[in-house]
Every structure is written in C-alpha cells, then in structure tokens.
Amino acid sequence: MPKHKPKLGQNFLVDESARHRIADALGDIGHRTVLEIGPGKGAITDILAGRAGRLIAIELDNELAQVLASRYAVREHIRVVHQDILDTDLTSLIPAVEKADVVGNLPYYITSDILLHLFAASAHLGRAVVMMQREVAERVAATPGNRDYGLLSATSQLYCRVENLFTLPPGAFSPPPEVYSTVLRFTFAPRFHELGINDASAFDRFLKQSFAQKRKTLSNNLRSAGYEMRQLTAAWPASIPPQARAEALSLEQMAELYRALLESI
C-alpha cells in the first residue's frame, strides 16, 4: 500500500474492534447508499463492501484511490471517486428519491469544513458516523452554558441530533496521532421549521454574527454586525438577559431573538 502522507492528515485506523463498531453504528444499510469520506487503506470500506446496497468511497490521495478502485473493480455496487470531499457535490452522487448515509475518519485539519459541507447537503442525508479529534467532538456535542459550546455546537445541533459513541486512543491508528479521537453519530433533522425559521441561510448568518467574538456579549456582537442599539432594545425578548453571551443561549432563544429582529424591521 502507498505510504502515509502527513500533509493529507492521514492516520489509518488499525484497531479491528473499532472498525467494526463504526460500521455497525450505521445500522442496516443493505438497501442504502453510503458515502465514505477518506477510505484510506479500506479498513472500514472492506466491511461496508459486504453490507451496503451501494457504496461510494471518496478519496483525495491518488495512489490510495487507484488501489481501492482496483480492489473493488468487479463489485458493481462500489464506486471509488478520486476527489477532495470539499469539492464534491454530494447531492450528485445520491439517487434523487433516496437519502444517503455517511461514514469516515475526518482529517483533523478540515473537520469543521467537512461538517459544514455535510450540513449543506443535509436534505439528502440520513445519518453519519464520523470520527474526529476528541476536542472537536466535545465542541460539537456541547450544550449551552458549557465552556465548549460555540458556533460549531449550535450549527451542528441545528442540523442534526448528535450522539457521542466512543473514543479511541492514539494507538488505534498508524501512525498514531498526538490526540485521542471520538466517533460521533449524526442523525440529520434540520430544525428550521420547528424554530419558525423560513430562511436557513439568513439564520446561519445570524448565528455567525452572534458568536463572532466569544468574549463579547450577544448584544455587542450584533451591534458589531450592523444592528442598531434601538432595534436590539425594542426586539430583545424578556427571556434573554441583556448581558447574555450567545454561548449561554439555546437555539430556541436564538431563534426567538432572530424572529423578533426580523419583525422589527
């Protein structure tokens, strides 16, 4: 097999139990399309190949992609795509009437970017079982008021139900990374309608403005984003303390403020 390339963030899973636990966490995929992000040397791919109705492995490393394509050449339900996941139009790979599942060991240096890429395609996805650096996973799964809660937490939980499945030590990989890795399961269920949000992109933008600077209050962040103080004062819900920071508020509270500001325009 090709040698590992540090610049691509490659740490190959070698723990036999872990690769089966990850595949098992997808559930019954016998009639589903599964997108695998960064299959690498095929530790999880080999298991999914015998379970998935259709498997699409997206691999950036040209050498690894060629090896995998050769290995599965006679398996008609398996396709290897040599491409950067961030440049891949996921919806073009998924049958129109179907929702696909996702699995992968996400490169640590672009984990957030990949998650945002998945959220953008959430209408076409069912669930995802993905591994990431433990510290990032803790941020994704954090609840309001927790020191790890921030924009990534709010955005993730706006699009998905998040479950923390298990954590792996560096020794589960070759070469071993310097950090622990955590496997999360996402069940895609965007909450915009539930929260009374009609424009998803506008609310995403509002969240970015609200969390722009962690040390600032929500009011000051929004003023920096262009909202006038009189507008904020007039629309500010009684349920939100005047000096609250975005990190302390639930998505319901953020949506309440967002709707009130829209109505005040």
Tell me if the bond preceding 175 is cis, omega within 30° of 0.
yes
Residues near 13 by beta carbon (within 8 Å), at least 6 away in sequence: 19, 22, 40, 43, 44, 105, 131, 172, 173
Which residue, among 64, 90, 83, 31, has the nearest Cα to 45 in the 3D structure? 64
Is 11 within any annotated ligand binding site? Answer: yes
Is 13 within any annotated ligand binding site? Answer: yes
Residue 242 class from Cβ within 10 Å (0-12 exposed, 13-18 middle, 19+ buried)?
exposed
Is 263 within any annotated ligand binding site? Answer: no
Token representation of residue 250: 């639930």
Taking the CA atoms of residue 57, residue 152, residue 194 and residue 218 in that order, the dihedral angle to the nearest 10 degrees is -160
Is 84 within any annotated ligand binding site? Answer: yes
CA 227/CA 105 separation, integer angstroms:
40
Taking the CA atoms of residue 252, residue 256, residue 259 and residue 261 in that order, the dihedral angle to the nearest 10 degrees is -130
Is 146 within any annotated ligand binding site? Answer: no
Buried b or exposed e, range 135-172, using 16+ CB within 10 angstroms: ebbbbbbbebeeebbbbbbbbbbbbbebeeeeebeeeb
Is 26 within any annotated ligand binding site? Answer: no
Q: Which residues are annotated as a binding site for S-adenosyl-L-methionine?
A: 11, 13, 38, 59, 84, 105
Q: Which residues are annotated as a binding site?
A: 11, 13, 38, 59, 84, 105
